């Protein structure tokens, strides 16, 4: 097998790759890597490729060019080298196209086993959409099962805000998968916040979600009322006619009835005054 040629390239002539799956870099780990490089040097060259477009700008008689290379694998080593102020870094220049570079970058990060699961899912989706690659081919290229790819992509059903909460709360992928069982976004968000606040384990998270879903399934008690009486109460005109008929019947029976009626804002106040001596007369 032909040995790859190692070339030392200016760190300033290199930029992060557009297809880099990792979105977050731990400053502490970069510092630790920089300390290691300071003692032992860059033990493994980074992999780069020439950029499709290099912009040239003329400024005050000087010709300025944008970075000529982009990183396929080894961005953390490049960041650590820049942090140390190293002018050059050992590189392997690849002729990979966009599709090959995307897979190389993702595979390199997966082999290090610390790629955040949302970053992995986002990278899979980006490769799938950009290069129209079906899930079964993705699975073969990444040496995993199609169901594993599908499960990773399902994580992206969580909103950007929810994913940020899960990242910040340092919850596991199993936590994230459990949250997907809750369809209502508002309820799901509250559960995520509670799991983070109470530092719940995966099993405790499962129990919380189970009890929440069980509660949501229970039918809410409804107030039952007699529709006939509900109609009578709502229909004020019908009620007033009933009062008028009652007063008329009492008057016809020789019972003196004093009636006072006034409106008070949203209310209608009615007072009926009947002598006690005839208070036993039925009103029909």
What does the angle CA 76 – CA 77 – CA 78 come to, to the nearest 5 degrees? 90
For residue 82, is it left (φ>0), alpha (ψ between -120 and 50) or beta? alpha
What does the angle CA 32 – CA 118 – CA 31 come to, to the nearest 5 degrees? 10
Distance CA 191, CA 17 (A): 36
Per DSSP, the three-state class of 14 is: strand
Q: Which of 75, 108, 122, 162 is catalytic?
A: 75
Note whether 115 and 22 are within 8 A (CB): yes
Nearest Cα neighbor of 8 from 66, 81, 59, 58 is 81
Any catalytic annotation for residue 75?
yes
Q: Can you read off the two tokens belonging to residue 32?
A: 């630790």
Indicate which residues carry an active-site annotation.
75
């Amino acid at each position: 097998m032909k040995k790859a040629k190692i070339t030392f390239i200016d760190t300033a002539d290199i930029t992060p790759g557009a297809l880099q799956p990792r979105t977050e870099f731990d400053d502490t780990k970069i510092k630790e890597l920089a300390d290691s490089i300071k003692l032992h040097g860059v033990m493994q060259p980074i992999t780069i490729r020439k950029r499709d477009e290099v912009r040239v700008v003329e400024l005050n008689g000087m010709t300025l060019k944008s970075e000529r290379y982009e990183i396929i694998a080894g961005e953390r080593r490049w960041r650590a080298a820049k942090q140390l102020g190293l002018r050059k870094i050992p590189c392997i220049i690849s002729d990979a196209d966009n599709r090959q570079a995307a897979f190389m970058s993702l595979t390199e990060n997966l082999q290090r086993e610390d790629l955040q699961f949302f970053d992995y899912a986002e990278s899979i989706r980006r490769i799938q959409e950009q290069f129209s690659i079906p899930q079964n081919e993705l699975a073969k290229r990444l040496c995993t099962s199609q169901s594993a790819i599908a499960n990773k992509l399902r994580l992206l059903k969580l909103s950007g805000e929810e994913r940020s909460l899960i990242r910040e709360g340092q919850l596991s992928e199993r936590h994230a998968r459990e949250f997907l069982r809750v369809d209502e976004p508002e309820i799901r968000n509250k559960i995520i916040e509670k799991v983070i606040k109470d530092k719940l384990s995966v099993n405790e998270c499962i129990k919380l979600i189970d009890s929440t879903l069980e509660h949501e399934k229970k039918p809410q008690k409804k107030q039952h009322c007699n529709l006939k009486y509900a109609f009578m109460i709502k229909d004020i005109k019908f009620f007033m006619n009933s009062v008028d008929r009652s007063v008329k019947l009492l008057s016809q029976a020789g019972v003196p009835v004093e009636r006072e009626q006034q409106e008070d804002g949203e209310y209608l106040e009615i007072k009926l005054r009947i002598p006690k001596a005839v208070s036993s007369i039925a009103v029909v």
